[in-house]
Amino acid sequence: MTAKVFPGKIKNCTHCGSPLHRIHRNAFDKLINYLIAINRYSCSNHECGFNGLKISKKPKKRRVSNTSVKKNLTIALLIISMLIGWYFLINIFIDRSAMAEQNTSAAN
């Protein structure tokens, strides 16, 4: 069946009256969710096969856990320290090669 959009107060299927249960949204539903807070529901009666969208009252706020912040901060610090280390290694290599060229030119 095609999906229909209903206001937030509907709790039962509009076709057979069976209760609705929430199912995973598809990619298109997630795009719509940026504009309007929605959830996808399906009829619990498998013979009916109703499938529709229901407008939510409030969009859910995404929580940022402390562990994810610490993990991201740790990764950022590791990347920065690696870049600094590579910078110094490259400079040391360039300095040594320049000194080697000066020594060979001075010896000649």
Amino acid code (one letter) for 94: I
pLDDT in tens, 53-107: 888 776 556 666 667 778 888 888 999 999 998 888 888 877 777 777 777 776 6
- 40 closest CA partner among 17, 56, 24, 28: 24
Cα separation, 31 vs 45, in Å, equals: 28
The bridge status of strand 5-6 relative to strand 20-23 is unpaired
CB 5, CB 41: distance < 8 Å: no
pLDDT in tens, 38-56: 888 888 888 888 888 888 7
Counting runs of H as helices and runs of E as strands, what totals does the chain give? 2, 4
